[in-house]
Structure 1
């Protein structure tokens, strides 16, 4: 906590975001909160009346696309049943347990390597590569912070508001590199996969991002805070299968990002995301923001609009 506060007060934008997350500001209506936070994060005024950019349309969808199924789909535990029914249980990373608290976890029964993640937030993950190196007191404090968090209040992403917090333990996986598990994040617009982001060389707080179309042709998309992997990413063996899965899972949705893994011999489901970077994507060029925004047809979401 002290480290986060120190970092915040050396960055004016982070100071404002930190203040905005005080409980007092929960009194703000979602739309006003989102407008303020969008300006702090992007230094641009949010146009919700006529949204054109990718970021603006994601903010509009937060407020108006209230598909009741989204809460189940962002719940990392509940979504497993949906995936099993929709595309098959074999696409699920094996679960080693689901817990209601840190005290419920029997670490002696877990293998030497595993992954813990909160079902009700984004980014709260603990990757264990060697159980003998765990600082259990520190891990307990971290997980207890997860369990207290209601992720909805961070960015007003409403699907997270009513998820019951749980801890999911999954099998530790690596891909063909035998050292990491690359994320293949397939961006689907109006139910059609169009763009694939690949996260590689992941380490805490940083990773490389490469972009490809669905035929694995490189697409130049520059981000302010992340660089491309200069070596590029080999075309995954199961690319067509991954695209087909994404198309099926995003059917009927104005926008969804389907996160998958490819170990070479098998494709695994990661998660479904409706608001990447919560609609504050750090595009280096506004043209990219506008291009991706043009791919989202908000008319498909108007039938679900909530006044």
Structure 2
């Protein structure tokens, strides 16, 4: 989407914009009067569930204080710095390995495993470009609209056993943790497998193929479900991401709208099933 089209799209009212984008992905319009599927209900929630605290919960810097208050500081990945501009970063003060990302969007991540080999110009272009965009306007995910754009540096994390940083994404529905997505081979050929609270594998796909070898159950699996429910209290649906690093749980991020509600869940019966687990709140928007 070029800049002219992107700017013009901002003038389209949220409900009409979401209807058109939903049609693009699913070849049908969402039913806002009586949404049934998970993806339909996400579109409804974008429009009508706009609580001020959601902004803090998706801000990748501000959320750290929230996490420390609700479940404890020991679950927070250490912050190495936060800046308004890329030019303000003093790389001499950063360790050899670290992670850079923007606080106000998704996917603007720079993973540095060796500072001497970091392409600083490429990182500057990527992060500066991200700072100039308001993530809200693509999928109209309201919580992101007023998050201040900044760059944050975090400690580089890696689990010694699997030699990568696996995502454990817990899906909650009205405060109840129902299942987990486990990402493997992140950054190369990302795969996703789904397990219920008893670690039974669930046979559906959602944006990614299954792993060739199903991942082992993490040591803190039940703990992640417990923590997710504490963080999701009072929400209609929330994805709570964790990492397990050398048997210690760390918080990743909070996501209200997985794939912005535009990834197909196959078979569709799961889209309906997950939708049935969401009790919509009173309209706020």
What TM-score do you get using the length of structure 1 for normalisation? 0.89
Q: Matches of 2:125 and 2:191 in 1, distance apart? A: 29
- In the other structure, the counterpart of 1:231 is 213
- In the other structure, the counterpart of 1:8 is none
- In the other structure, the counterpart of 2:267 is 285
Q: Following TM superposition, by how much is the alpha carbon of 1:20 offset from its aligned partner in structure 2, in angstroms?
A: 9.5
The 4+ residue runs of structure 1 with deviation greater than 3 A are: 17-21
Q: Matches of 1:118 and 1:22 in 2, distance apart? A: 20
2:245 is aligned, of 263, 271, 274, to 263
1:55-74 equivalent positions in 2, closer than 5 A? 55-74=39-58
1:32-43 equivalent positions in 2, closer than 5 A? 32-43=16-27
2:151 is aligned, of 152, 161, 167, to 167
Q: Counting helix residues as a fraction of each chain, which structure ranks higher? A: 1
Classify the secondary structure of the residue corresponding to 1:287: helix
- In the other structure, the counterpart of 2:276 is 294
CA contact (8 A) 1:210 1:229 kept: yes
Q: Following TM superposition, by how much is the alpha carbon of 1:230 offset from its aligned partner in structure 2, in angstroms?
A: 2.1
1:106 is aligned, of 90, 95, 98, to 90
1:136-215 equivalent positions in 2, closer than 5 A? 136-203=120-187, 206-215=189-198
Structure 2 vs 1, CA of residues 21 and 247 (structure 1 numbering), >3 Å: closer, same or farther? farther
Q: Following TM superposition, by how much is the alpha carbon of 1:21 offset from its aligned partner in structure 2, in angstroms?
A: 5.2
Size of the aligned set, in residue pairs, is: 285
Q: Matches of 2:166 and 2:127 in 1, distance apart? A: 24
Classify the secondary structure of the residue corresponding to 1:202: coil
Classify the secondary structure of the residue corresponding to 2:233: coil
Q: Following TM superposition, by how much is the alpha carbon of 1:179 offset from its aligned partner in structure 2, in angstroms?
A: 2.2
1:275 is aligned, of 243, 257, 274, to 257
Q: Following TM superposition, by how much is the alpha carbon of 1:241 offset from its aligned partner in structure 2, in angstroms?
A: 1.2
Q: Matches of 2:133 and 2:83 in 1, distance apart? A: 16
Q: Matches of 1:85 and 1:37 in 2, distance apart? A: 37
Q: Following TM superposition, by how much is the alpha carbon of 1:282 offset from its aligned partner in structure 2, in angstroms?
A: 2.1
Q: Matches of 2:70 and 2:174 in 1, distance apart? A: 18
Unaligned runs of 5+ in 1: 1-16
CA contact (8 A) 1:21 1:154 kept: no
- In the other structure, the counterpart of 1:251 is 233
Q: Matches of 2:150 and 2:259 in 1, distance apart? A: 22
Q: In the alignment, does 2:14 pair up with 1:22?
A: no
- In the other structure, the counterpart of 2:106 is 122
- In the other structure, the counterpart of 1:242 is 224
Q: Matches of 2:47 and 2:135 in 1, distance apart? A: 16
CA contact (8 A) 1:236 1:264 kept: no
What TM-score do you get using the length of structure 2 for normalisation? 0.96
CA contact (8 A) 2:161 2:246 kept: no
Classify the secondary structure of the residue corresponding to 2:177: strand
Structure 2 vs 1, CA of residues 56 and 175 (structure 1 numbering), >3 Å: closer, same or farther? same
Q: Deviations over 1:131-164 (max 9, x none)?
A: 1222222211111101101001111111111111
CA contact (8 A) 1:237 1:264 kept: no
Q: In the alignment, does 2:118 pair up with 1:134?
A: yes
